Copies of this chain bind each other. A is one copy, B any other.
Amino acid sequence: MITHMDRDKLFALLDAFAVELPSWGFADTGTRFGKFLQPAAASTIEEKIADAGTVHQYTGCCPRVAVHVLWDFSMGVDATATADLAAKHGIRIGAVNPNFFEDQVYKFGSVCNPDESVREHAHRHMMDSIAIAKAVKSDTISLWFADGTNYPGQDEIASRKGRMHGALRQWHDALAPGMKMLIEYKPFDPAFYHTDITDWGMAYVFAKDAGRKAKVLVDTGHHLPGQNIEHIVAFLIDEEMLGGFHFNDRKYADDDLTFGSIDPYAAFRTFCEIRNAAEAGKDVSGIAYMVDQSHNLKPKVEAMIQTVVMAQELYAKACLVDRGKLRDAQARTNTIDAEECLKSAFFTDVKALLAEWRKGKSLEADPLGAYRVSGYEARVAREREAVRAARGGTSSTSYA
């Protein structure tokens, strides 16, 4: 089946393919129409890290968990304790995500707010976030801004752009050596007229202007209908400006569905562009693969295992593309043959290969099945319900 690629090479590529989990993906979350609570949902950073560690335990490819400053860290608490906790669960802290949207002062924006005191507030939060990153030994600050306006005229777009530039330059220079700053874009939601960083082009310009430690973060759900995401990915890699991904899938807007659940071929094509670049000699080792999903219906840990397995499978399929054949078809401008190179790899059944790879790592062949057998969910549901009952409340940590 995979005659053109050495199994060892594929396994080496899989060894290097790590997916970072979001701490907030284990908490109860929902839509603006409400959230459906799960007994096993994590409420504390301890619970989230335990869940992330569990996913890593069954998949073997999720050594890091991204954290969200506002929800995961309390002022005055030593962040290094969180790093130790992660280590205890066999993982490390990944990207540190400041929060610039939930505080009431951010009603008209954070760094783009016309009110200087609000911008100052955001600045202090960023400085705290950098300090936390240092404490947990993370090298990545991941920035997403809800900044924007809902109505024409609400604020001056160009002035807001200037404020964004100012903040990002200043923050870039405050990073420790070796740290990087990822800048995410999004076309709309929660801003519905204009969003200050609305597309990859704006994220690119802001990052270029801020400095060499700034790169663009591509959230696969943050695009207008039809946008060709793999094209953006190829373009950014060529510009050496792709910092990483937030993986999820969508059919309409920022739907936060499981990666590959709606259009797996598109997800595969994104991996193909990365592999193309790698085969062409580009350094793609710095690209961060992070999940950003909030499941309202699926059990959290199960959904995360499903996501990671899907990502691995699609990545493996992309590795299996016969690039010699593909380049040959492209050189002959034979569209059908070129296309069939992709499709043939995409429809290759890689489940057995991945089972074998897992075996080599002393992992169970079927991560989801093994996890279900473990009884983890029922156990933590009991424990967490008890804790919540003792606290007299319901699950608390929210995300969007």
Q: Which residues of B contact A333 (CB under 8 A)?
A: 107-108, 114-115, 154-155
- Contacting pair A198 B156 (CB below 8 A): no
**In the bound complex, how far is the Cα of B257 from the Cα of A205, in angstroms?**
29
Q: Which residues of B contact A85 (CB under 8 A)?
A: none
Q: Which residues of B contact A151 (CB under 8 A)?
A: 257-258, 261, 297, 335, 338-339
Q: Which residues of B contact A114 (CB under 8 A)?
A: 330-331, 333
Is A386 interfacial (CB 8 A cutoff)?
A: no
Q: Which residues of B contact A298 (CB under 8 A)?
A: 335-336
**In the bound complex, how far is the Cα of B223 from the Cα of A227, in angstroms?**
10
Is A152 interfacial (CB 8 A cutoff)?
A: yes
Q: Which residues of B contact A73 (CB under 8 A)?
A: none
Is A31 interfacial (CB 8 A cutoff)?
A: yes
Instruction: Please tell me which one of the listed residues B297, B341, B347 contacts residue A335 in the complex, with CB atoms under 8 A apart.
Output: B297
Is A326 interfacial (CB 8 A cutoff)?
A: yes
Known: A238-B158, A306-B336. A253 touches B251 (CB 8 A): no
- Contacting pair A239 B205 (CB below 8 A): yes
Instruction: Please tell me which one of the listed residues B37, B198, B235, B266 contacts residue A202 in the complex, with CB atoms under 8 A apart.
Output: B235
Task: Offer 27 A-B interface pairs, CB within 8 angstroms, sorted by A.
Answer: A32-B190, A32-B400, A107-B333, A108-B333, A149-B335, A150-B255, A151-B257, A152-B262, A152-B272, A152-B339, A153-B272, A154-B297, A154-B335, A158-B235, A158-B280, A162-B238, A192-B251, A192-B252, A192-B255, A193-B257, A199-B201, A199-B227, A252-B253, A261-B339, A263-B263, A263-B266, A298-B335
Instruction: Please tell me which one of the listed residues B251, B264, B265, B272 contacts residue A188 in the complex, with CB atoms under 8 A apart.
Output: B251
Chain B proximity of A31: nearest CB distance (Å): 4
Chain A contacts with B in 122-136, Cβ cutoff 8 A: none
**In the bound complex, how far is the Cα of B108 from the Cα of A303, in angstroms?**
16
Q: A153-B329, A261-B339 are in contact. List 12 more A-B contacts (CB 8 A).
A: A33-B190, A34-B400, A37-B104, A153-B341, A154-B339, A158-B273, A192-B256, A225-B226, A226-B251, A228-B251, A306-B340, A347-B349
Is A224 interfacial (CB 8 A cutoff)?
A: yes
Known: A32-B31, A33-B400, A201-B204. A330 touches B156 (CB 8 A): yes
Q: Which residues of B contact A188 (CB under 8 A)?
A: 226, 251-253, 255
- Contacting pair A276 B158 (CB below 8 A): yes
**In the bound complex, how far is the Cα of B200 from the Cα of A377, in angstroms?**
41
Q: Which residues of B contact A251 (CB under 8 A)?
A: 188, 192-193, 226, 228
Is A381 interfacial (CB 8 A cutoff)?
A: no
Is A10 interfacial (CB 8 A cutoff)?
A: no
- Contacting pair B330 A152 (CB below 8 A): no
Is A72 interfacial (CB 8 A cutoff)?
A: no
Q: Which residues of B contact A266 (CB under 8 A)?
A: 263
- Contacting pair A33 B201 (CB below 8 A): no
Chain A contacts with B in 45-87, Cβ cutoff 8 A: none
Q: Which residues of B contact A276 (CB under 8 A)?
A: 156-158
Chain B proximity of A341: nearest CB distance (Å): 6
- Contacting pair A155 B338 (CB below 8 A): yes
**In the bound complex, how far is the Cα of B188 from the Cα of A398, in angstroms?**
22
